Amino acid sequence: MSLGIDESTLTGVGGRTGVGRRRVRTRSTIAARRVHSAGVGSASPIVLAAIICGLQVVFGVAVLVANWSAHPLPLLAAAAWAVLLFAEATLAVIVSYNGERLPNGLFVFFLVALGTAVLLDLVSIWSVEDLGGYASASIGAGFALLLTIAQRSRREIVIAVAVLGAVLLGAILATTPLTTATLPAQLIALCLACLPAVIGLVVVGGFRAIVQRALDRVLVQSTIAGPRLAFGMLASEELARLDAAAEEMLESVADGRRPLPLDPASASRAATIATELRLHLLDGRKQTWLYHAVSESEVLGPTVRLSDPHTLAGLLDQHQRDGLLTAVWLLSSELQRSGISITLGPVRPQDADAANGRLVPIVVEVEDSSRGGVDPATWDELSKVGTFRDSVRQQVLRVEIDCWVADPAEP
């Protein structure tokens, strides 16, 4: 058994995996993640929105029928409801057919239909000096926007709600004398038209954030089972792209589409592909599971700084990896952390034991924190990594962990 090995023996190929090192994400990867995240957890909000809209339609039509004789232009109000129902039914059918996707053209059509319904409804009650008390399809248009909150951006919905609110407010000011008797009905009408979509945006945003965070946690957790040095998910996609480009280049040469010798443009492209492949293969020898867990996480990436220049994180066993990753995840989830730094190493030749293997020092520092503000479960997870000592100085929580790993020089 040899214990007199230096740190370079432990690290294989040295590399800088520390602060400031972030893998460049491809546009296709980012787009795929956004599209996938947008669809994650959308079914439940859509069903709930459809139920709420359905109940409001039943209530609104029932009120119109009950007040039919007192309504100044009931047929025009009924036409407004017919346009609104047609728009909602068309939206529901096409969205279901498209797999819960709302194309731009359909969204514009839906907004135009809502505007038409609002216009017809307002014209039907323009002569009444209590617009808020008689408005029906105009309020239904606000509820109908609930059907789009899971598929369209927050900005688009807010603009639509703002336009609807401005139109109703202008119509109220133009037709209704505001007195103590009429003011409550006008305020209620404005709130019923605008608040449902706003509340829906808040609920869907929170629900989607929970789902995305859970998805991110699952993806990050998958890294602990990887080898000591490996490619991450984003690098694998880049390698697949480069491999396809190289294969296409070789096939075009083999079947004569690209004659030899290659023209300058083809030769330059082949050299670029080869260079990128070499760089990715070299990068794969410098990046550990912890690097990928941090850099590819939407939660850990912005707050965690990793310094592991000798890829020591790869020496941790799966139990230790799980403890360290879970502890860092809990720390990043608590309150608002301004920054978490993780430093591994350096390994000293004298820190060796025939029974325990090799000692890898790990330091975790959390800014603007105290020991009392840490979830007790975090300490349990850190104990899986090794024995630790914690201290607080200048509002920085410092945890020093003695992590014993198997000596890689052992056969």
Q: Give the tens place of pLDDT for each residue, 335-353.
A: 555 689 999 988 876 666 6
The CA distance from 264 to 255, in Å, is 19
The phi and psi torsions of 343 (rounded to 5 degrees) equal: -125, 125
Bridge partner residues of 364 (DSSP): 342, 399
- In a domain? residue 226: no
Residue 250 lies in a domain: yes
How many domains are there within the chain? Answer: 3
181-223 residue pLDDT tens: 889 989 999 999 999 999 999 988 888 888 888 888 888 888 8
Which two tokens mark 308? 């592991």
Boundary (domain end) residue, out of 214, 244, 274 = 214
pLDDT at 370 over 60: yes
Do residues 138 and 168 make contact, with C-beta atoms less than 8 angstroms apart?
A: yes
The 3-state DSSP class for residue 100 equals coil
**Inside any domain, residue 162:** yes
Domain of residue 97: give its range: 37-214
Same domain flag for 108 and 187: yes
279 and 174 belong to one structural domain? no
The whole-angstrom separation of Cα 345 and Cα 135 is 70
- Same domain? For 62 and 194 the reply is yes
Q: Which residues pair with 344 in a beta bridge?
A: 362
DSSP symbol at 288: B
Q: Are 276 and 302 found together in one domain?
A: no
Q: Are residues 41 and 94 in the same domain?
A: yes
Structure tokens at 4: 């007199």
Of residues 150 and 115, more confidence is placed in 115
Residues 86 and 13 grouped into a single domain: no
Whether 230 and 286 have beta carbons less than 8 Å apart is answered as: no
Tell whether 158 and 237 lie within a shared domain: no
Q: Are residues 116 and 164 in the same domain?
A: yes
Say if residue 235 is in the same domain as residue 354: no
Q: Model-level pTM?
A: 0.65
Q: Based on the domain organization, do 237 and 339 belong to the same domain?
A: no
For residue 380, being part of any structural domain is answered with yes
